[in-house]
Chain A
Amino acid sequence: MASRQNPKPMTIDEGSVHIDPAVNKLKRILEGKPEPDFLPGEYIGNYTTIYNMCIQKPPHDQSQELYDKYGGIFEDYAKHTVLPSIMEKHDEYMLRELSRRWDINKIMVRWLSRFFFYLDRYFTVRRSLPSLTEVGMTSFRDHVYNNVHFNVKQVIIALVHKEREGQQIDRALLKNVLDLFVENGMGSIKRYEDDFEDFFLQESASYYSRRSSRWIQEDSCPEYMIKAEESLKKEKERVAHYLHSGTEPKLVDIVQTHLLVLVAKQLLEKENSGCSALLRDDKTDDLSRMYRLYHAIPKGLEPVAAAFRLHVTAEGNALIKQAEDAATSGSVEEQVLVRKIIDLHDKYMAYVMDCFQNDTLFHKALKEAFEIFCNKKVAGSSSAELLATFCDNLFRKAGNDKSNDDSTIESTIDNVVKLLDYISDKDLFVEFYRKKLARRLLFGRFNDDHERSILTKLKGQFGGQFTSKMEGMVTDMQLAKDHQTGFEEHIKNLPKGVDFTVTVLTTGFWPSYKTSDLNLPVEMVNCIESFKAYYAIKTNHKRLMWIYSLGTCNLTGRFDSKPIELIVSTYQAAVLCAFNNTDILTYQELLEQVNLSHEDLVRVLHSLSCAKYKFLNKQPASKTISKTDTFEFNSKFTDKMRRIKVCMRKFKKKKKEKTKLIMIVVKQVPLPPVDDRKKVVEDVDKDRRYAIDASLVRIMKSRKVLPHQQLVSECVEQLSRMFKPDIKMIKKRIEDLITRDYLERDTENPSTFKYVA
Chain B
Amino acid sequence: MPRTASKPKKKRSKPYTVTSSDTVSVPSASSETKKSSKEKDGKYKLFNKYANASSGVIDPEGIEKLCSKLKVSHTDIKILMLAWKMKSERQGYFTKAEWRRALKALKVDTIKKLKKALPELEQEVRKPLNFSDFYAYSFRYCFTDEKQNCVDIETICQLLDMVLGSTFRDQVDHFVNYLKIQNVYKVITMDQWMGFYRFCNEIIFPDMTNYSLELAWPSILDNFFEWMREKQA
> Does A739 lie within 8 Å of B149, measured CB to CB?
yes
Beta-carbon contacts under 8 Å, A723-754 to B: 728, 731-732, 735, 738-739, 745, 750-753
Q: Count the A-B residue pairs with Cβ separation under 8 angstroms: how many?
A: 31
A706 CB, min distance to chain B CBs, angstroms: 11
Q: Is the CB of B214 within 8 A of A735?
A: no
B216 touches A739 (CB 8 A): no
A contact residues around B222 at 8 Å (CB): 728, 731
How far, in Å, is A738 (CB) from chain B's closest CB? 5
**How far is B190's CA from A728's CA once the two chains are assembled, in angstroms?**
19
For the complex, give the distance between the alpha carbons of A738 and B149 in Å: 11
Contact at A739–B219, with CB atoms within 8 Å?
no
A751 touches B215 (CB 8 A): yes
B150 CB-CB contact with A under 8 Å: yes
CB of B60 closer than 8 Å to a CB of A: no
Of A707, A738, A750, A752, the residue contacting B198 (CB under 8 A) is A750
Q: Which residue of B lies closest to A745 (CB)?
A: B191
Alpha-carbon gap, A731 to B223, bound state (A)? 12
> In terms of DSSP, what is the predominant structure of the interface of chain A?
helix
Contacts of B216 in A (CB 8 A): 707-708, 745, 750-753
Inter-chain contact A739/B191, CB cutoff 8 Å? yes
Any chain B CB within 8 A of the CB of A709?
Answer: yes
Nearest-Cβ distance from residue B31 to partner chain A, whole angstroms:
45
The contact of A739 among B189, B195, B198, B215, by CB within 8 Å, is: B189
Q: Are B214 and A739 in contact (CB under 8 A)?
A: no
Q: Contact between B215 and A738 (Cβ–Cβ < 8 Å)?
A: no
B33 sits at the interface (CB 8 A): no
Residues of B within 8 A of A735 (CB): 189, 191-192, 218-219
Q: How many angstroms between the C-alpha atoms of A735 and B188 in the bound complex?
A: 11
Total count of chain A residues near the partner, CB < 8 A: 14
Q: What residues on A are CB-neighbors of B189 within 8 Å?
A: 735, 738-739
Contacts of B219 in A (CB 8 A): 728, 731-732, 735
B214: which of A709, A738, A752 is its contact (CB, 8 Å)? Answer: A709
Q: What residues of chain B lie closer than 8 Å to A753, measured between beta carbons?
A: 216
Find the B residue at minimum CB distance from A707: B216
- Distance in Å: Cβ of B142 to nearest Cβ of chain A: 16
Contact status A708-B215, CB under 8 Å:
yes
Chain A residue at minimal CB-CB distance from B184: A732
Complex CA gap A397/B232 in Å reads: 58
Per-residue B-contact encoding for A507-538, CB less than 8 Å = 1, 0 else: 00000000000000000000000000000000
Minimal beta-carbon separation of A80 from chain B (angstroms): 85
- Residues from chain A with a CB closer than 8 A to the CB of B192 are 735
Chain A's nearest CB lies how many Å from the CB of B139? 13
Q: Please name all residues of chain B whose beta carbon is closer than 8 Å to the beta carbon of A707 when the two chains form the complex.
A: 216
Bits for B163-194, please: 1 = Cβ < 8 Å to A, else 0: 00000000000000000000000000111100
Nearest chain B residue, comparing its CB with the CB of A730: B219
Bound: A752/B216 CA distance, A: 8
One digit per residue, 1 when the CB lies within 8 angstroms of any chain A CB and 0 when it does not, for chain B 120-163 equals: 00000000000000000000000000000110000000000000
| Cβ–Cβ < 8 Å partners of A708 in chain B | 215-216
| CA distance in complex: A753, B149 (Å) | 19
A315 to B190, CA, bound (A): 51
* Complex Cα gap A735–B191 (Å): 8
Complex-state Cα separation, A709 to B215, whole angstroms: 7
Instruction: With CB as the reference atom, state the residue of chain B lying closest to A741.
Output: B149
Nearest CB to that of A740 among chain B residues? B149
Point out the residues of chain A lying under 8 angstroms from B190, CB to CB: 739
Looking at the assembled complex, report how far the CB atom of B39 sits from the nearest CB atom of chain A, in whole angstroms. Answer: 37
Bound complex: CA A739 to CA B189 (Å): 7
Alpha-carbon gap, A731 to B189, bound state (A)? 14
B216 to A: closest C-beta gap in Å: 3
Cα separation A235 to B214 with both chains bound (whole Å): 55
Chain A residues with CB below 8 A from B198, complex form: 750
Question: Could you give, for residues 675-711 of chain A, a 1 whenever the CB lies within 8 Å of some chain B CB and a 0 otherwise?
Answer: 0000000000000000000000000000000011100
Chain A residue numbers with a CB within 8 Å of B215 are 708, 751
Q: Bound complex: CA of A304 vs CA of B192, how far in Å?
A: 50
CA distance A738 to B194 in the complex (A): 12
| List of B residues within 8 angstroms of A738 by Cβ | 189, 191
Q: Which residues does chain A contribute within 8 Å of B191, judged by CB atoms?
A: 735, 738-739, 745
CB-CB nearest in chain A for B187: A739
Residues of B within 8 A of A750 (CB): 195, 198, 216
Cα of A707 to Cα of B215 in the assembled complex, Å: 10
Whole-angstrom distance between the alpha carbons of A21 and B112 in the complex?
141
| Chain A residues positioned under 8 Å from B149 (CB to CB) | 739
Q: A733: nearest residue on chain B (CB-CB)?
A: B219
Bitwise, B55-69 to A at CB < 8 A (1) or not (0) is: 000000000000000
Q: In the assembly, what is the distance between CA of A709 and CA of B150, in Å? A: 26
Interface centre among A728, A752, A753 (most CB of B within 10 A): A728
Q: Which residues of A contact B150 (CB under 8 A)?
A: 739
Q: Which of B208-233 contact A (CB under 8 A)?
A: 214-216, 218-219, 222
What are 16 A-B pairs at a CB distance below 8 A? A707-B216, A728-B219, A728-B222, A735-B189, A735-B192, A735-B218, A738-B191, A739-B149, A739-B189, A739-B190, A739-B191, A745-B191, A750-B195, A750-B216, A751-B215, A751-B216
Q: Contact residues of B with A, CB < 8 Å?
A: 149-150, 189-192, 195, 198, 214-216, 218-219, 222
In the A-B complex, list the 4 residue pairs whose CB atoms are closest, starting with the nearest.
A708-B216, A751-B216, A738-B191, A739-B189
Interface contacts beyond A708-B215, A735-B219, A750-B198: sample of 13 additional A-B pairs, CB < 8 Å, sorted by A: A708-B216, A728-B222, A731-B219, A735-B189, A735-B191, A738-B191, A739-B150, A739-B191, A745-B191, A750-B195, A751-B216, A752-B216, A753-B216
